[in-house]
Amino acid sequence: MKFLDQAKVFIKSGAGGAGCVSFRREKYIEYGGPNGGDGGRGGDVVVEAVQGLNTLIDYRYQQHFKAKRGIHGMGQNRTGADGQDSVLRLPVGTQVFEDDNETLIADLTEVGQRVVLARGGRGGMGNAHFKSSTNQAPRHAQPGEDAVEKWIWLRLKLIADAGLVGLPNAGKSTFLSATSRARPKIADYPFTTLHPQLGVVGIDEHEFVLADIPGLIEGAHEGQGLGDRFLGHIERCRVILHLIDGADMTVAESYKTIRRELEEYGAGLDEKPEIIAINKTDALLPEFVEEMTAELRAVTDAPIFAISGITGNGVTEVLRALYRIIREDRAREDAEAAKAEAADAGAYRDRDDDAHDGHDSGESETGERPWSPEVTL
């Protein structure tokens, strides 16, 4: 399946059905009166996050989504049927933006999450609603509410625990292939990876998701090479694994190049925890590896490992270091969620206790007992 992480689509909700002007006409009933029914409500346009999808390719070929309009009201007080909703099923991690591609409407981060993008129009009221003592035969009804239509952008950001970054041909695809069941394209020329890849990595009976994005070069934030559009796929990562080609004699400059691109991109990528791995050390002498490590330690405080994606040397240690950071971040998130839940529960109990105390005492907020009529038997 071809990977697509961005698409522009047109959505339109359903208009409301019009109310009906009708009068009851039956034999032997002289004054039937109005009996026009209400119009049905128009359908909504809804986005829903579902499992099993990792691309927006379906929205390349179908770009218009319209909900059904409500059915008009009918005589005998019959209400028109509501219009059917139009549901856009999207991968988890999809963001929905307005036509300007900057204003965020929805961020789908959990399976089953649903957001209404365009509400259907309300149905108009029939003439039965307008009868009164002074107007016993109304001859007008409401039209249905208009539909809502607009263009929106869908942008997919893959959800992974760790992200791989580095210059082209640093061995990112080889590393992903060696540590997971993913089978990305591997070749001896740059830019073999043209779109992000995901793999589930297992280490010490634990698992986490690793994302590999196309290689960055200097000037990627200005559109050089494949640009930096794929960096959005590691915005949600908890930790970054920075692979450096051991065959490169200027490892410090290579490291600084990638760091500059992360800083230019923004979104907090340069502030995420980072682990550095010098790859392809199976083809290097130990003293060269030590020199590269010392050169990198002069420009960064991040942990540095020497590995080989081909032979597997040092890979286990890197995976353990990655999982350690991921585990700590998950624990922090769980603690914050538990704390917030406890605070909400405490606030709810306080409100319930206040209401219970007021009910027992029979007093109002002003301290006075509420008035009650006397009952005489």
Residue spans of the domains in the chain: they are 1-156, 162-329
Cα–Cα distance measured from residue 118 to residue 116, given in angstroms and rounded to the nearest whole number: 6
**Band of pLDDT at residue 216, cut at 50, 70 and 90:** low
Q: What are phi and psi of 241, to 5 degrees?
A: -105, 115
Question: Can you tell me the mean pLDDT for 29-51?
Answer: 91
Q: What is the pLDDT of residue 330?
A: 85
354 pLDDT more than 50: yes
Cα–Cα distance measured from residue 367 to residue 357, given in angstroms and rounded to the nearest whole number: 12
Question: Can you tell me the mean pLDDT for 354-365?
Answer: 53
The distance in angstroms from the start CA to the end CA of the chain is 82
Cα–Cα distance measured from residue 275 to residue 222, given in angstroms and rounded to the nearest whole number: 26
248 pLDDT more than 60: yes
Cα–Cα distance measured from residue 249 to residue 256, given in angstroms and rounded to the nearest whole number: 14
374 pLDDT more than 50: no
Q: Which amino acids are annotated as binding site for GTP, given as ranges? A: 166-173, 191-195, 212-215, 279-282, 308-310
Q: What are phi and psi of 78, to 5 degrees?
A: -90, 120
Q: What is the pLDDT of residue 370?
A: 44
The closest alpha carbon to 273, from 300, 307, 308, belongs to 300
**Band of pLDDT at residue 128, cut at 50, 70 and 90:** very high
**Band of pLDDT at residue 114, cut at 50, 70 and 90:** very high
* Least confident interval from 226-235, 252-261, 362-371: 362-371
Q: What is the pLDDT of residue 10?
A: 96
Q: What is the pLDDT of residue 239?
A: 87
Cα–Cα distance measured from residue 354 to residue 349, given in angstroms and rounded to the nearest whole number: 9
Helix (H) or strand (E) holding 324: helix 315-361
* Side chain identity at residue 218, one-letter code: E
The domain made up of 162-329 has a fold known as Rossmann fold (3.40.50)
The domain made up of 1-156 has a fold known as Spo0b-associated Gtp-binding Protein; Chain: A, (2.70.210)
110 pLDDT more than 80: yes
Question: Can you tell me the mean pLDDT for 59-85?
Answer: 93
Q: Which amino acids are annotated as binding site, given as ranges? A: 166-173, 191-195, 212-215, 279-282, 308-310
Cα–Cα distance measured from residue 304 to residue 375, given in angstroms and rounded to the nearest whole number: 85
Q: Mind listing the pLDDT tens digit for each residue in 318-348?
A: 889 888 998 888 888 888 888 888 877 777 6
**Band of pLDDT at residue 121, cut at 50, 70 and 90:** very high
DSSP string covering 262-311: HHHH-TTGGGS-EEEEEE-GGGS-HHHHHHHHHHHHTT--S-EEE--TTT
Q: What is the pLDDT of residue 63?
A: 92
* Least confident interval from 83-97, 102-116, 191-205, 245-259: 191-205
181 pLDDT more than 80: no
Q: Which amino acids are annotated as binding site for Mg(2+), given as ranges? A: 173, 193
Please give the mean pLDDT across all residues of the chain: 81
**Angle made by CA atoms 240, 244, 249, in degrees to the nearest 5:** 155
The closest alpha carbon to 242, from 256, 228, 230, belongs to 256
